[in-house]
Amino acid sequence: MLSLAILSIGLSAGPAESPTELAAWLDARLETAWRAKGEPPRAVVSDEIFLRRAFLELTGTIPSVAEARDFLEDPSATKRQRLIQTLLEDKRYAEHFGRLWARTMAPAGTTRGPLEAWLRTEFRKNTPFDQTTKAVLTAKGDSTTAGPAAFYFAVGNTPERITEAVARGFLGIRLGCAQCHNHPFTGWKQEDFWGLAAFFASTGNMAGPVTDGPARKVSPMNSSKEFDAKFLIGPAPEFRGSRSARAVLADWLATPENPYFAANVVNRVWQDLCGAGLVSSVDDLDTVEAAERGQVLDGLTAKFVASGFDMRWLIEGICLSKAYQLASSGSESSPGRRPVRTLTPDQVFASLDQSLGLKKGRGVGIRFTPEGRSLMVRLEEARGSTPTDYKGGIPQALLLLNGNLLTEATALDSSLTLRAIVEAPFLNETEKLETLYLAAYSRQPRQEERERMLKVIGAKPADPAARRQAYSNIFWALMNSPEFVLCP
Amino acid sequence: MLTRDFGRRDFLRMSLASAAGAAACPWLPALAAAAGKKPAKACIVLWMSGGPSQTDTWDLKPDHKNGGPTKEIATAASGVRFSEYLPQLAAAAKDLGIVRSMTTKEGEHGRATQLLHTGQLPTDAVAYPALGSLLAKELGDPDHDLPSYVTISPGGLNNVGAGFLGPQFAPLAVSGISDDPNARANLSIDNLKPDRAVGNDDQDIRRKLLEGLQTDFGKRYGGAAAAAHAASYRKAQRMVDTEARGAFRLDEEPAKLREAYGRSRFGQGCLLARRLLERGVSFVEVTLDGWDTHTNNFEAVKGLNGTLDPAFATLLSDLKTRGMLANTLVVWMGEFGRTPIINRTTGRDHFPVAWSTVLAGAGIKGGRAVGSTGKDGMAVTDRPVTVTDFLATVCTAVGVDPEKENHTWDGRPISLVKGGKPIEELVG
């Protein structure tokens, strides 16, 4: 796995492909991989499921009732393409991907705010991702305001933490254990960990700005041994003139020739969009065998490199592919298969807000009301390690079943959304029900659901209060149901 | 991470090994003999998150510079000495089996936490279940009102779940995080009751509606996430419905006992663990965080021992008073130990090479220390105990055959613990 020979990504010459061409290539390649395993392609999903996927995965939230209606009622054959392009222009796209990548770069940190703010602007500008990465690796200055130096604040400015984060986030390699001892299974040695750490010997510390200096050696705590700066793979670094150690590292790391860098980005983007990486483990790219990478990931990586590390192009191409639009599967595990995925805490929160119109905190966002905060804590503690994990435990279920936030947001006297729907004089009962479904599920009720729910609404024909309360009960049940927090 | 072919090879190797292993395992007859009339056993793990310093707790080095300033004291067990900051546990030493020769191969928190909970390093090929899930499945009653596995204040890293065993055996986490200071002190679960504004009839309607939506979704899309969602709601609903929630009413306990455990979240968590066991929970893990003492180790460990000592010792005496200790295994462990060498910031760093764990109750032969780490503590010099040996000891102590196999969703048989040798000196 330490060999460069497992992969040769060449810069393929010629004009860049369009996202549509990329999508066609992906479909052909994936279909070949699936057929080889005796797993023919599944059906393309309905507009409703596509809509929900595209909104959640490109903007981090579900569509509003109006957005859902507009899309579902649009008869155009090209509406899916247009939706993807519209969402990529939406400011929520940059917010969502900024948040995703801040977490990827600094998974454990609680100080990701400034990093996230900077990444948001990078995604808005669609800066080539090798440049974004180089900016992080060579950043200097204040680390507590939006800017590439905020990475050091988010991960903790010590050579060890930076090394762990850089290896995992940018290369898909978990080096952490080689910090203390040679890694028994992957072959990483302590000198690999500390060799990478030595590039960050002069970045300062959490107390001040990120700095640069001439040091290119580092010694672990309680050891007198010194390690020289060294790349994980490839020839020894050459330090010339005034070029900083970190600039030399950036020239090795964020390049087409590095076999991990671009593949890691592609694999992570695929996981963020489709719920599972093209190769199984986004954090252990170094342990993936050549044959598995060769099926799809290496080819897509080469194309991403040829595009000039164009994130928007990559994301658009993936979303335009049929593969992105196929039905999910609970059991198959070929590359590119979509599982039923669990919404992230951020997605759940944003979707609850979209559906319910949650109460805003004073001067700040909804997240900062006491109820909003405790919901976020619950959601965060149940964050799964992969997009398919549902970890929401009993406390989270109890909070949603019985907590103030959902109780009030689905009660007639306190919920603006519900009251607006239930009291709208121009809607009949079927239309009211449909609007509730659009608000919660971004779709119309199916025929059997319609019948079942209308029966609930009409259970006590002589009691108008019970009739109104029935809408509250239905809305509450929709918000607590698996369809709200899982994306098929 | 593993390719299919590797998986297959692995599978073959395991099948062969388990056939041979069963024949060679001397504990099986004893276990078989005990079957049929065994009282319900249970397990409490006191999880020392961050990696506790063995040199400042159970395996002191007073005659070596690695020992630092901590003094050693005699205990009720002759020849066994502890830190001066564990006086109550020293008095209870006849119940404690100390393992001073743990040796493992992982020094990174997340991976080592996984290793000590599952016996396996993380791999994407198989999501290995945590010890709590494995034992919950063996010891627990699936129809009980409370989940079989409860974890108290687990924190960020210690979130190893049920893996391929599925959400039925996933831990109920009691985080104790709440905006209500009373709820926090009492470690109660928030939101146990529906809002009073929602009448009983409406509650019934809501529940039926929700069940219908869950069934529809499960039928249409299936998958593990939908099953996990349904399971967690089912359990939540049962928590609401049953009297079992009384487990969290710690204020029913005598104030004196609550004081004895210590008014820390950990101390009250240990008390809650006992109450959960009394109500039929099989496995409770209580986390005490803060052992990652890279700097200022001695002050930090002194403080941690001050929390640990009354809680652990009172738990043992409380279980004993109630006749529960004979059937309850109490395990003290973290993800690794700490370097005997003191670093430049008066701290100790990660050290999986030679460290300590403690077992008590459930027939563990106490009053002794197994293994040793030599004068400077830098290596195991006698009787190395691996993570599989240790976990096999835990299983054996609660009457579970460690080589028993579960099956992954694709039918792969996987032992609870593969190839470990229980520590005979403690469970023989």
DSSP track, B352-387:
-SSEEEEEESTT---SEEE-B-TTTSSS--B--B-H
Q: Are residue A246 and residue A395 in the same domain, yes or no?
A: no
Cα angle for residues A222, A228, A234 (degrees, 5° grid): 130
**Of A362-366, A447-451, B194-198, the least confident:** A362-366
Q: Which residues on chain B are in Cβ contact (under 8 Å) with A477?
A: 206, 209-210, 213
Say if CB A325 and CB A50 are below 8 A apart. yes
Structure tokens at A195: 């060799």
Which chain A residue has the Cα nearest residue B343?
A222
CB contact under 8 A, B159 and A391: yes
Residue that finishes a domain, picked among A200, A222, A254: A254
pLDDT at A5 > cutoff 60: no
d(CA A167, CA A207): 24
Number of structural domains, chain A?
2
Counts of helices then strands in chain B (DSSP H, E): 13, 14
Q: Are residue A220 and residue A357 in the same domain, yes or no?
A: no
CB contact under 8 A, A370 and B179: yes
Structure tokens at A168: 């995992």
Q: Are residue A115 and residue A219 in the same domain, yes or no?
A: yes
CB contact under 8 A, B173 and A381: yes
Tell me, yes or no, if the pTM score tops 0.90: no
Domain that holds residue A347: 342-487
Residue that finishes a domain, picked among A233, A254, A275: A254
Q: Are residue A100 and residue A232 in the same domain, yes or no?
A: yes
Q: Are residue A250 and residue A380 in the same domain, yes or no?
A: no
For residue A396, the model assigns a pLDDT of 76
Mean pLDDT of chain A: 88
CB contact under 8 A, B179 and A341: no
d(CA B191, CA B197): 14
Say if CB A273 and CB A325 are below 8 A apart. no
Q: Which residues on chain A are in Cβ contact (under 8 Å) with B235?
A: 394, 397
For residue A16, the model assigns a pLDDT of 75
Interface test with chain B among A218, A287, A331, A398, by most B beta carbons within 10 Å: A398
Q: Are residue A228 and residue A362 in the same domain, yes or no?
A: no
Chain A touched by B379 (CB under 8 Å): no
With 0-12 CB in 10 A as exposed, 13-18 as middle and 19+ as buried, what is B1? buried
d(CA B144, CA B142): 6
Which chain B residue has the Cα nearest residue A282?
B1
When pLDDT is cut at 50, 70 and 90, the band that residue A108 belongs to is: low
Q: Are residue A216 and residue A113 in the same domain, yes or no?
A: yes
d(CA A183, CA A232): 14
Using alpha carbons, select from A256, A238, A258 the residue that is nearest to residue A248. A238
Flag whether A197 is in a domain: yes
**Of A175-179, A195-199, A276-280, A353-357, the least confident:** A175-179
Which chain B residue has the Cα nearest residue A186?
B1
Flag whether A10 is in a domain: no
For residue A183, the model assigns a pLDDT of 64
Interface test with chain A among B53, B120, B152, B191, by most A beta carbons within 10 Å: B191
d(CA A476, CA B416): 41
For residue A177, the model assigns a pLDDT of 61
**Of A37-46, A269-278, A289-298, A329-338, the least confident:** A329-338
d(CA B216, CA A75): 28
**Residue bearing tokens 């390719």:** B3
Query: CATH classification of B38-192+251-415, choosing from 3.40.50.620, 3.40.720.10, 3.40.47.10, 3.30.470.10?
Result: 3.40.720.10
Q: Are residue A234 and residue A107 in the same domain, yes or no?
A: yes
Using alpha carbons, select from B149, B140, B162, B154 the residue that is nearest to residue B187. B154
Flag whether A85 is in a domain: no
Per-10-residue mean pLDDT of chain B, 428 residues long, equals: 30 34 34 49 97 98 96 96 98 98 92 92 70 95 80 72 76 61 54 79 93 93 85 84 74 94 91 93 94 95 97 98 97 97 94 97 97 97 97 97 83 86 94
Q: Are residue A249 and residue A347 in the same domain, yes or no?
A: no
d(CA B206, CA B219): 20
For residue A56, the model assigns a pLDDT of 97
For residue B39, the model assigns a pLDDT of 62
Residue that finishes a domain, picked among A254, A269, A288: A254
Chain B touched by A469 (CB under 8 Å): yes
For A318-363, the pLDDT digits (tens) are 999 998 999 887 665 667 778 888 999 899 999 998 998 876 654 4
Using alpha carbons, select from B384, B418, B424, B330 the residue that is nearest to residue B17. B418
Measure the N-to-C terminal CA separation of chain A; round to a whole number of Å.
Answer: 35
If DSSP codes are grouped into helix, strand and coil, which group holds residue B127? coil
Say if CB B337 and CB B53 are below 8 A apart. yes
Do you know the residue count of chain B?
428
Q: Which residues on chain B are in Cβ contact (under 8 Å) with A185?
A: 121
Q: Which residue has the higher pLDDT, A107 or B337?
A: B337
Alpha-carbon distances of B427 from A81, B22, B97, B361, rounded to whole Å: 66, 18, 10, 10
Flag whether A53 is in a domain: no
CB contact under 8 A, B230 and A330: no
pLDDT at A288 > cutoff 70: yes
